[in-house]
Amino acid sequence: MSTNQKLIFIMIDGLRYDTAVDNMGYLHHLVEKGRASRYKVLSEVPAMSRPLYEVLLTGTPPYKNGITSNHIVRLSKEESIFHLTKKNGLKNATASYHWVSELYNSAPFNPMKDRIQLNQDKPIQNGIFYWEDHYPDNHLFADANYLRVNHNPDFLYIHSMNVDDDGHRFTADSAGYRNRVIAVDTMLATILPDWLDEEYQIVITADHGMNSDGQHGGTTPADREVPLFIMSSKLEPGIYEEEIPQLQIAPMVCRLLNIDPSDAMQTLKFPGLKK
Ligand SMILES: [Zn+2]
């Protein structure tokens, strides 16, 4: 078995599947050249942010973890990937929206106290958090890179918000939404080559999609279908058309990090996974 290999998990809030497929040219360059796999993920419902952050990071469904709406502001009761990495002696870090801090480190969020959290005793050991939905994605990625360079995490979770923000502002059927997705792809094209050179595995996905009313929360493909791109030698590159349940992502991340999943996570069943 190989040793641990570091992982950067990029969660692009509100990025729907078809918009990613149509507009993210750099990521598809990596897919076309056999450097990445692309999957279609079906989100859990309700297709809302806070419940799906908990789904992605704990691999448990909302009825079980209790995070059933954006208005439930409390620490998670589940074992997250932050808990698991720490338990296994790996270092973690995140540059994320403040709700991630509320789920795993400290709730309610106090901007004057909680923006930067560097505490090895907490589930999130190294965190930089923002609370404005228009906090620029490029500033967020600079925050994340600061954590990467200075704290050398094995698991770095990056959570951007501008795609969701522009989806609410302009709807999914708009130049504003599509152009923001292209801007994120361009930003990734600037940053990812360095991270890939340093042999990080990369996971890119979204919590939920966006509909033509500028909202999400329903059950349509626009609400629920999100992309998943993975760059890792543990997977056969290519395009996989079958729908992956979102609850598979947390145990997949554990596999990529070479740590045991929590007891609450689903058994991993993932196309393209090498033996
Ligand atoms: Zn939203």
pLDDT in tens, 219-265: 999 999 999 999 999 999 999 999 999 999 999 999 999 999 999 99
123 has pLDDT over 90: yes
Q: Cβ distance 218 to 47 under 8 Å?
A: yes
CA 250 – ligand 1 centroid, Å: 21
Mean pLDDT of 149-178: 98
CA 234 – ligand 1 centroid, Å: 32
1 band by pLDDT with thresholds 50, 70 and 90 = very low
CA 167 – ligand 1 centroid, Å: 8
Q: What percent of the chain lies above the pLDDT cut of 90?
A: 98
CA 142 – ligand 1 centroid, Å: 23
Give the model confidence (pLDDT) of 69-83 as tens digits: 999 999 999 999 999
Query: What span, in angstroms and rounded, lies between the C-alpha atoms of 16 and 13?
Result: 9
Distances in whole angstroms, Cα of residue 109 to Cα of each of 56, 105, 122, 129, 165: 20, 9, 15, 10, 20
CA 163 – ligand 1 centroid, Å: 9
**Sheet hosting strand 7-12, strand order edge to edge:** 116-118, 126-130, 92-97, 155-160, 7-12, 201-205, 225-231, 37-42, 238-245
CA 244 – ligand 1 centroid, Å: 22
157 has pLDDT over 50: yes
Quote the Cα angle for 13-18-23, to 5°: 80
275 band by pLDDT with thresholds 50, 70 and 90 = confident
Q: Which two tokens stand for residue 111?
A: 């901007």
Specify the pLDDT at position 4.
64
3 band by pLDDT with thresholds 50, 70 and 90 = low
Q: Length of the chain in residues, anyone?
A: 275
CA 15 – ligand 1 centroid, Å: 10
CA 18 – ligand 1 centroid, Å: 17
CA 152 – ligand 1 centroid, Å: 31
CA 171 – ligand 1 centroid, Å: 11
CA 214 – ligand 1 centroid, Å: 8
CA 78 – ligand 1 centroid, Å: 23
CA 165 – ligand 1 centroid, Å: 7
| This prediction's pTM | 0.98
CA 50 – ligand 1 centroid, Å: 10
CA 218 – ligand 1 centroid, Å: 12
* Average confidence score pLDDT of the chain: 97
Task: Give the β-pairing of 7-12 and 155-160.
Answer: parallel
CA 269 – ligand 1 centroid, Å: 29
Q: In sequence order, which residues have a C-beta less than 8 Å from that of residue 103 and are 6 or more positions away? A: 50, 53, 54, 57, 67, 75, 76, 80
Q: Which two tokens stand for residue 116?
A: 């930067």
184 has pLDDT over 90: yes
CA 14 – ligand 1 centroid, Å: 6
